[in-house]
Amino acid sequence: MGSRLAIEVRGVRIAYGTADVLHGVTLEVPAGGFLAVVGPNGSGKSTLLRAVARALKPRAGAVLLDGRDVGSWDSREFAREVAVVPQHGEPAFDYTARELVAMGRTPYERRFTPDAGGREAVEGAMRRVGVWELRDRPASTLSGGERQLVRLARALAQQPEVLLLDEPTNHLDIRHQVTFMEVLKGLNRGGVTVLMVVHDLNLAARYADRVIVMREGEISAAGPPSAALNPAVVRAVFGAEVEVSVSPRTGALNVQTVGVPDPGAGGEPRVHLVCGGGSGAALMRRLYEEGIPFSAGVVNAGDTDHALARALGAPVVEGAPYSPVSDEAHAANVAAAERAELVAVCDMPVGPGNLRNLQAALEALDAGVPVVLLRDGPHHGEKRDYTGGAATELARRLKSGGARVVESADGVVRLLAPDRGAGREPAARRTS
Ligand SMILES: Nc1ncnc2c1ncn2[C@@H]1O[C@H](COP(=O)(O)OP(=O)(O)OP(=O)(O)O)[C@@H](O)[C@H]1O
């Protein structure tokens, strides 16, 4: 096999008619990486895979393989590097299993030069997947699972550097699922880059090194399985309650469904978070766990707090990436803050771009909404003023106007639901 290849998806938008199905998706699978794509039905997983396989052309953005736009690859060259294992779809004629696998050699065939390694590659691939015994069977007589294994063998015969798979284990019983995934993992260990769409969260957690969770054509969460498949994300994206544990035997994550969420959990936001740069994450998770609805703003698109709030289904007053808060966003932020029962200013770095968010909290305080200042970051609220003193001055005005300092997310929960945050933190203290 040749050099290892990375996949980059940059701001890809895809529409089937006029409406976008993918709204600017960005991700990377490093050379030799294994990325699993999960998400509810219709969230755009297959569409993403088709874009990478260059079966669909993005309306905007680009897909790069080894740093080159996939559209600019020669198709034979592309087919030698990238194999696709589709969910279904077979040629209309009734080929034998071996003939189907041999189709994986097409990119290597030349009109006057026989494909030298072809026969061995086909036999090797069929043996590796365990379908050599089926070689002379017409494909129409194979079970759904056997056919799926034959599709994997065809992809292997292609000797690709990149494998794209769409729900490959759908038809497989548990033993064949394991065989399939172990063959795939073995190829991945040998350097093959894998991008796999899969519904089974446990397979994603066990075999992939990174997982992305899609929702309505966007990426809701991304990271190693333990981060991307946490219960809050699964609840927000799939509407299912899960428990996540670690298998004592394999060390892999085990994602177990335990029901559907309490329908009373949504509703009008009670807390408005002024946050950014991850400073709101701990509080958002606690509020979410407690079923206390919240909003956040102004948070720029692309910020981790923006992604988490959206993943948890919270309304967000959105700002443009890397831009100061606009008049319009500021007004919306003040309105959201004034509708809440409480405004929580998270322990965030304040620069000239987001100084207005502190002003919004001050306006809410003036309008009679209680404000708390969270001091749960590594610097406990200190050394986070990048405005030359303006942020410190606003914080001073907030405190002198009655804002309380709270040491943790639990302290905020306790203010809103005294029976629930109890015992976790000393009472919020009022400061001068
Ligand atoms: N050929 C098409 N023409 C029009 N709309 C399409 C087409 N293919 C997919 N869609 C729509 O695009 C959206 C995303 O579909 P896609 O197949 O990518 O989702 P998915 O996440 O793979 O879903 P599933 O888990 O059900 O396979 C859906 O709303 C779907 O109805």
Angle between helices 174-189 and 144-157 (to 10 degrees): 10
Could you give the CA distance from residue 244 to residue 237 in angstroms, rounded to a whole number?
15
**pLDDT value, residue 235:** 83
pLDDT at 145 over 70: yes
pLDDT at 384 over 50: yes
Q: Which of 20, 21, 88, 216 to mutate to test the pocket of ligand 1 (most atoms within 8 A of CB)?
A: 21
Residues in the chain: 432
Poorest-pLDDT segment among 42-46, 143-147, 262-266, 284-288: 262-266
pLDDT in tens, 24-68: 999 999 999 999 999 998 899 999 999 999 999 999 999 999 999
Could you give the CA distance from residue 340 to residue 272 in angstroms, rounded to a whole number?
6
pLDDT at 214 over 80: yes
pLDDT at 418 over 90: no
pLDDT at 426 over 50: no
Burial (CB count <10 Å: 0-12, 13-18, 19+), residue 382: exposed
**pLDDT value, residue 70:** 94
**pTM of the full structure:** 0.64
Could you give the CA distance from residue 385 to residue 362 in angstroms, rounded to a whole number?
17
* Residue with CA closest to ligand 1 atom 10: 16
Rounded percentage of the chain residues whose pLDDT exceeds 90: 54
DSSP 3-state of 383: coil
Domain 266-430 in the same topology as domain 7-255: yes
Ligand 1 near 421 CB (within 6 A): no
Angstrom distances, CA of residue 44 to CA of 21, 47, 48, 273: 6, 5, 6, 30
Element (H, E) at 273: strand 271-274
**pLDDT value, residue 355:** 94
pLDDT at 211 over 90: yes
Cβ atoms of 194 and 163 within 8 Å: the answer is: yes
- Give me the residue spans of the domains in the chain: 7-255, 266-430
In the chain, the amino acid numbered 146 is E
pLDDT at 213 over 90: yes
How much is the average pLDDT of 386-408?
92
Cβ atoms of 285 and 263 within 8 Å: the answer is: no
pLDDT at 422 over 50: no
**pLDDT value, residue 111:** 59
What b/e sequence results for 329-358 when a residue is b if at least 16 CB atoms lie within 10 Å of its CB, and e otherwise?
Answer: bbebbbebbbebebbbbbbbbbbebbbbbb
Cβ atoms of 69 and 62 within 8 Å: the answer is: yes
Angle between helices 327-339 and 355-366 (to 10 degrees): 40
Ligand 1 near 237 CB (within 6 A): no
Supply the mean pLDDT for the chain: 86
Q: Which of 14, 16, 23, 212 to mutate to test the pocket of ligand 1 (most atoms within 8 A of CB)?
A: 16
pLDDT at 432 over 50: no
Q: Which of 9, 18, 47 to mutate to test the pocket of ligand 1 (most atoms within 8 A of CB)?
A: 47
Could you give the CA distance from residue 319 to residue 360 in angstroms, rounded to a whole number?
14
Q: Tell me the fold of 7-255.
A: Rossmann fold (3.40.50)
Ligand 1 near 16 CB (within 6 A): yes
Poorest-pLDDT segment among 116-125, 219-228, 397-406, 413-422: 413-422
Ligand 1 near 21 CB (within 6 A): yes
- Tell whether ipTM is more than 0.90: yes
Cβ atoms of 165 and 181 within 8 Å: the answer is: no
CATH number 3.90.950.20 given to 266-430: no
